[in-house]
Structure 1
């Protein structure tokens, strides 16, 4: 659907811009949006199908659900585009980051703003007469606000280029993750519920809890793969150590490190030299963090699986979340 959606927007009067600006917008969209696993976009459509009245699963409604899914992907993509600048990342989804592309640079910020604005143009074009129109707008705005707050917390963990390791703990980490990842992952299921005709307050709370837990699990996986993953599989060169990120891995290390090990981490974490990165990774290995991660993954999957069993009464909803949990278990990319 993506080429159709791009053509529909750029050929219509949604944006009255000249051909050069249109070409740039199309390039930015095609380079950044239909990439990666698109988990949240697919969840939008999948969960809508799981909760909608079968009699209302028409081609038109499924078409609209797909459009909502692309709106979620647009939001996620704009966040990654600007996040890559903040983190000085080099690659994203196996390709150079957009801001490193020829003649882009910091103009990436404007491109990201254009793409985010498209979300509301799309919602107005396709959903202005739908009951989910206003709730969807509010959800996108609330999600973006929380993601920005999470990004702000993430940034102030490093001051003047120095990570504030004394502030790194699991409470801070969970707060950042819930705002940045948990909020984004709960967005598609909330959108699906607003679009469907069978949503209710009880289901809404159950779904939000499981979604936040899955979002946290996904982020911990990303943090672990940043340090220990294969870049050929992840499509991204890990940079959490040199960027001084408050990640699950460094928090676990600080909880277990001796004073000597903490001093080594303090002297090397947040620095980009190969010797610095190697010193940090050596501490991680000494603390057996890959084994600790394995234990975490097993316990987390068991707990989320138990919650799905207890909270999801509808078979389709139960199957949806169970299948999703199984699909990300022990993922390597």
Structure 2
């Protein structure tokens, strides 16, 4: 692949990408335990509450937490494990720290699951990860609003009751930052969909929107939490994470947007409706840059409409400009930019260049495949 030509010029990076991110025993064990770990977290998180013995509440929280989280590939959770494994020293590999990193992995995944509930209600989505959306379940309906609120509160209970006060305050601040940035991104997303001015559908607007909507919680949050757990947070480390990981988070969102278009009949991660909802998606923004006048006129007439023929015409217009090829070119450009930023890090940077190469390699395995087959395995970020 073309991006590999960039890699061989990077300092400390002469091996193939896949060789750099070989899973360690710590990462493998944490990842294998993740799907089964929630009951332990519920037990340690609700012990100080008077409803700790309320079986109905505990089951509701468990079912609510697992419903979407275990139906998708836990990219954020695994990224938390990867970052912790790369940062941890031998003194960090205690039973307590290994429990805490599971708590953090579940926390970052539940942040996404929390927003998914509201996002699916706003978009009238019927399915996600091949399952009915939470609010469409027989015993849910509008109770989903209360469920989402309970899930958000449970995230803070997890953090408060599994860390000392100093650490819990810091990780709660990062989680709250994630909530705020996603809320801003969601607001911007909705307002862009209501806009009648397609001149606002620019690359700059798309990147700004998705830095808020997805980039922070998808890539930055897991790394910052792992840094905090390993006591390696500083102003420089925060800035390094922000500088290098913003593009990676946006790339993940781009891939998700492209997959929404490529094959709507292959059990997509969520019900495909970006075209109908007039989303400021990467396909729409990119297409507007490459359309001729006639194509642009047709697009503006069809985009944001629910009639099947209008939707299909937008898809045909995307095919006419070979959208998957344009994605591949942009992916390679972003990869090159990120690798150049990593290369410029000083030798004593925290996190190190080698750390960021591992993060790059991990993210790349998800962004490189935009074939319809990837949709069937739900390995994409279940983006909001």
Q: TM-score, normalised by structure 2?
A: 0.79
Matches within 5 A, 1:20-59: 20-59=56-95
Within the candidate set 139, 150, 158, 2:174 is matched to 139
The one-character-per-residue Cα deviations of 1:202-231 (angstroms, maximum 9, x if unpaired) are 233212222211101100000110101465
Matches within 5 A, 1:7-156: 7-9=43-45, 12-14=47-49, 16=51, 19-129=55-165, 131-156=166-191
Which position in structure 2 is the counterpart of 1:256? 290
Using the alignment, how far apart are the partners of 2:76 and 2:49 within structure 1? 25
Using the alignment, how far apart are the partners of 2:61 and 2:353 within structure 1? 42
Q: TM-score, normalised by structure 1?
A: 0.90
Using the alignment, how far apart are the partners of 1:231 and 1:46 within structure 2? 33
Number of aligned positions between the proteins:
329
CA RMSD of aligned residues (A): 2.2
The answer to whether the 8 Å contact 1:224/1:248 transfers is yes
Using the alignment, how far apart are the partners of 2:298 and 2:50 within structure 1? 54
Within the candidate set 279, 300, 310, 1:245 is matched to 279
The answer to whether the 8 Å contact 2:224/2:233 transfers is no
Which of the pair has the greater relative contact order for Cα pairs under 8 Å at 6+ separation? 2
Once the 2 structures are TM-superposed, how far is the Cα of residue 164 of structure 1 from its aligned partner? 4.2
| Uncovered stretches (5+) of structure 1, i.e. residues with no partner | none
The answer to whether the 8 Å contact 2:345/2:353 transfers is no
The answer to whether the 8 Å contact 2:135/2:142 transfers is yes
Which position in structure 1 is the counterpart of 2:365? 327
Using the alignment, how far apart are the partners of 1:231 and 1:308 within structure 2? 39
142 and 38 in structure 1: CA distance in 2 versus 1, 3 angstrom threshold: same
Once the 2 structures are TM-superposed, how far is the Cα of residue 191 of structure 1 from its aligned partner? 1.1
187 and 24 in structure 1: CA distance in 2 versus 1, 3 angstrom threshold: same
Which position in structure 2 is the counterpart of 1:272? 306
Q: What SS does the aligned partner of 2:368 have?
A: coil
* Greater helix fraction, Structure 1 or Structure 2: 1
Once the 2 structures are TM-superposed, how far is the Cα of residue 9 of structure 1 from its aligned partner? 4.3
The answer to whether the 8 Å contact 1:2/1:34 transfers is no
Matched, 1:222 2:256: yes
Using the alignment, how far apart are the partners of 1:134 and 1:13 within structure 2? 18
Once the 2 structures are TM-superposed, how far is the Cα of residue 98 of structure 1 from its aligned partner? 0.7
